Structure 1
Amino acid sequence: MAATTGDPRFPPRYGPSVLRIEIEGEPPTTDRLATGLSANYGHFTALQVRDRRVKGLDLHLSRLDRANRELYGTGLDHDHVRGLIAHALGDDVRDAALRVIAFGVGAPSVMVAVRPPGTPPATPQRLLPVAYARPFPHLKHLGGFGQLHHRALAERAGYDDALLTADGVVVEAATANIGFFDDDGGVVWPEADWLHGITMRLLEGVLPTRREVVRSADVGRYRGAFLTNSIGVVAVSRIADVEFAPADQALARVHAAYDAIPADPVE
């Protein structure tokens, strides 16, 4: 699921040009960018800021800390990262899409990229199942060529996104978690090796949900499906040749639950 920006000059997948980039609170030099990013090694989190608040901010900070310990052997101080986010927003930005990236070989540097805010797609998404598993799927890491290329191929085939599967088992979309509705409107997450997304975590805290193995050949037994990531929640209308009737009431409950989750101040 890719964000939409409302600006026809830029492809929806990439959004408008970056408003601001800082590395450790300073404007980046060409050498610092080239040296750090050329290795394509690191991890990140993506978040939406509204009125200088973020849903699940502590979860984003914890994600960065855990990944940093795994990749670099040391944590990332929550207050330090929070300060970098606030500094990058400055006094003039209240709503934005942010990407916080820890990158580099050896000791990492933290980059904050600020872009205009994104919103979910306006129409339900059509997904093309593909046999592909992200390496180290529990990490939101740099080097996402595989899933993004599968998304591009899905778009060329007339779909909106790729649905990643492993041995015929549904895992996740290219950059989103997928949930299903059972006959009673309950939420079912696939039991698989996926990235435990922040929006998924937030919904698990406010809605009754369960996990089970979902085979791509059996998705038609579910009443409906939806995608979640940092830009929110959007319905799925089709997976391969399986079309879902609108699950309006069930989806409305998910939207209402997500909208009611309070956002945390950046400062």
Structure 2
Amino acid sequence: MLGDMVTLDGKPASVDDLLPLALTNVGHFTSMRVDTDGSIRGLSLHMERLARDCKIVWNAALNTDRVREYVRLALEGQTRPCVARVTVYDPKIDMGHPADANEPHVLVSVRGAGALPPAPLRAQSLVYERDLPQVKHIGLFGALQARGTAQRAGFDDALFVGRNGFVSEGGTWNVAFIDHDGTVVWPDAPVLPGVTMALLQQQAEHRIATITLEQAKGMAAAFATNTSIGVRPLAAIDDTEFPIEHPVLAQLQKAYLLIAGETL
């Protein structure tokens, strides 16, 4: 049996339980930062995501009250802050007949969380489009391959640009820009509807627009967002440098930390 850090439907997961994830890599997930008081920013949005994606991936309903209970069990005795990841998959999935898999189960894993915000990020632009971008699925090969390519070139991560030339998102994060009027601009592109992005859109004036790579590099500042990193400044895209200190960035970072968390 594996350690208590990984549970399936509230019980310690075995190697056999995890084999379908290794061999078929079909499922979806959400990751939630659990603060020192046990609260989670955007918890309801995370549950909505899991239920929505479960219908898309498995054509099945998901009992989110049960998910909350499984996460509560997994967090017992864990040091906080931490990140709880909920992965939804069907251990009975067969590669030849994936349509027959419609009984999703809930895997919960817990890892430590870093300080908010982490160090500024340097991104390399790469042409890439995620499969089914509206779903936070576990098919991460393309995104992680792009991340590795960027890191081997001396960057921290990859910024995706669609085949149409418009900026979309990062490997595992949403991206946004601050124009020279101080307005936050989110890309109008096929992207994951991020929970942190949704929370921030409630905090500051923003607009959504198509953004070419050239336009992105002409912005006043840029930042990445997800539940693990909050608001993380972009220090560069390719050879274009951005200021890592900007009044709007500071306001967003402060506003994000002041968002009240929800309890499980």
Q: TM-score, normalised by structure 1?
A: 0.89
**Counterpart of 1:234 in structure 2: which amino acid?**
R
> Deviation digits for residues 14-42 of structure 1, max 9, x if unmatched?
xxxx8600000001122222145422111
After the TM superposition, which of the residue ranges 205-214 and 132-141 deviates more from structure 2? 205-214
- CA separation in 2, counterparts of 1:172 and 1:109? 29
Match of 1:176 among 173, 176, 188: 173
> Deviation digits for residues 177-233 of structure 1, max 9, x if unmatched?
011001121110011000011100001112211101100122232101000001211
1:99 matched residue in structure 2: 85
Describe the SS at the equivalent of 1:85.
helix
Describe the SS at the equivalent of 2:193.
coil
% same residue: 36
2:188 matched residue in structure 1: 191
- CA separation in 2, counterparts of 1:186 and 1:240? 23
1:23 matched residue in structure 2: 8
RMSD: 1.7
> Deviation digits for residues 143-162 of structure 1, max 9, x if unmatched?
10111111111111111110
Describe the SS at the equivalent of 1:53.
coil
**Counterpart of 1:20 in structure 2: which amino acid?**
M
Q: How many residues align?
A: 250
Is the contact made by 2:184 and 2:205 (CA closer than 8 Å) also made in structure 1?
yes
Is the contact made by 1:219 and 1:242 (CA closer than 8 Å) also made in structure 2?
no
**Counterpart of 1:177 in structure 2: which amino acid?**
N
Q: TM-score, normalised by structure 2?
A: 0.90
Q: 1:81 to 1:210 in 2, by over 3 A?
A: same
Is the contact made by 1:97 and 1:118 (CA closer than 8 Å) also made in structure 2?
no
Structure 1 stretches lacking a partner, 5+ long: 1-17
After the TM superposition, which of the residue ranges 186-195 and 74-83 deviates more from structure 2? 74-83
Describe the SS at the equivalent of 1:47.
strand
- CA separation in 2, counterparts of 1:246 and 1:121? 12
Match status 1:145 vs 2:141: yes
Structure 2 stretches lacking a partner, 5+ long: 94-100
Is the contact made by 1:19 and 1:114 (CA closer than 8 Å) also made in structure 2?
no
Q: 1:72 to 1:251 in 2, by over 3 A?
A: same
- CA separation in 1, counterparts of 2:200 and 2:73? 29
1:65 matched residue in structure 2: 51
Match status 1:154 vs 2:150: yes
1:224 matched residue in structure 2: 221
